[in-house]
């Protein structure tokens, strides 16, 4: 649901290997904001069996899930987590048991993805700067690393992430806006970008300070121009995007 295109969405949908995939949106991090839910349906309804799960309000409208969260989520091809406040989101998930359900979905092979908070949540640790100074957040731990998003859009995050990793935070991955990290189980399978110049990094401590190693990032626009389909797979995804906070995960998590 990027402002200027849909290359990352198309990439994640290609991983389902389904002509009309079942996609459920979790807008928890935004407090189930109406505008975010509307944007999701505009983007995904034409080609998907789209639905959303609200924890902060009771939705009687088309596609809203009122109860039996587990049955619904475990039947999806793709679970898309929106951006916003990752701390509030994780607290709400744990209160409603969604942390356990999402772990089951991941083990089952449901693709998990999302931008910003929707990326940070899948990792063991993450750097969050929502409403305040950067801080460490304990995520769901599906991916045994740390994660930092908006690496170029918010320059202070890079400095703080290096500081936290140097002080004992787990080694991990950082992504600029428009870049998605694609994991199969817990192994990084690819880094892809909706921008020609998008970058991602592996960040870890060393005896001489924190090391930032650039990752190979594939520009999705090049594949689209050549008519090549996106790679298929089972992946956790975490993504970082500009207009929409970004991140993701699953049997294939995708973090943006």
pLDDT of residue 231: 37
Catalytic residue among 51, 116, 128, 193: 116
- Does 150 qualify as catalytic in the annotation? yes
The token duo for 61 is: 């409208």
pLDDT of residue 191: 98
pLDDT of residue 32: 93
Catalytic residue among 52, 54, 146, 150: 150
pTM: 0.86
**Residue with tokens 């916003």, as numbered in its chain:** 84
Strand runs labelled E in the chain: 22-26, 49-53, 64-65, 78-81, 111-114, 123-128, 135-138, 143-148, 172-175, 179-184, 187-193, 200-206, 209-214, 218-219, 237-240, 252-255
The H-or-E segment that residue 102 falls in is helix 98-108
pLDDT of residue 242: 31
pLDDT of residue 222: 83
- Does 194 qualify as catalytic in the annotation? no
pLDDT of residue 241: 37
> Which of these, 58, 122, 59, 99, lies nearest to 254 by C-alpha position?
122
C-alpha 19/C-alpha 2 separation (Å) is: 22
Buried/exposed 165-182: b ≥16 CB within 10 Å, e otherwise: beeebbbbbbbbbbbbbb
Q: 153: which residues sit within 8 A by CB, 6+ positions away?
A: 176, 177, 242
Residues (pLDDT < 70) of the chain are 1, 4, 58-67, 223-252, 256
* Bridging pattern class, strands 252-255 and 111-114: parallel
């Amino acid at each position: 649901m990027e402002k200027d295109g849909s290359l990352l969405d198309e990439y994640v949908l290609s991983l389902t290997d389904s002509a009309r995939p079942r996609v459920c949106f979790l807008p928890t991090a935004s407090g189930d904001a109406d505008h975010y839910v509307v944007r999701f349906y505009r983007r995904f309804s034409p080609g998907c069996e789209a639905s959303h799960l609200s924890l902060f309000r009771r939705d009687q409208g088309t596609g809203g899930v009122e109860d039996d969260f587990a049955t619904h989520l475990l039947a999806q091809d793709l679970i898309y987590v929106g951006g916003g406040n990752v701390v509030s989101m994780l607290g709400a998930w744990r209160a409603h048991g969604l942390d356990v359900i999402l772990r089951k979905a991941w083990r089952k092979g449901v693709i998990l993805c999302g931008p910003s908070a929707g990326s940070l949540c899948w990792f063991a640790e993450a750097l969050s700067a929502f409403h305040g100074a950067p801080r460490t957040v304990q995520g769901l731990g599906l991916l045994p690393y740390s994660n930092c998003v908006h690496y170029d859009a918010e320059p202070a995050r890079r400095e703080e992430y290096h500081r936290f990793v140097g002080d004992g935070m787990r080694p991990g991955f950082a992504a600029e806006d428009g870049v998605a990290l694609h994991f199969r189980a817990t192994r990084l399978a690819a880094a892809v970008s909706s921008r020609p110049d998008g970058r991602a990094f592996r960040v870890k401590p060393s005896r001489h300070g924190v090391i930032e190693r650039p990752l190979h990032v594939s520009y999705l626009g090049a594949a689209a121009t050549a008519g090549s389909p996106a790679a298929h797979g089972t992946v956790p995804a975490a993504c970082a995007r500009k207009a929409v906070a970004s991140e993701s995960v699953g049997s294939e998590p995708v973090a943006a």
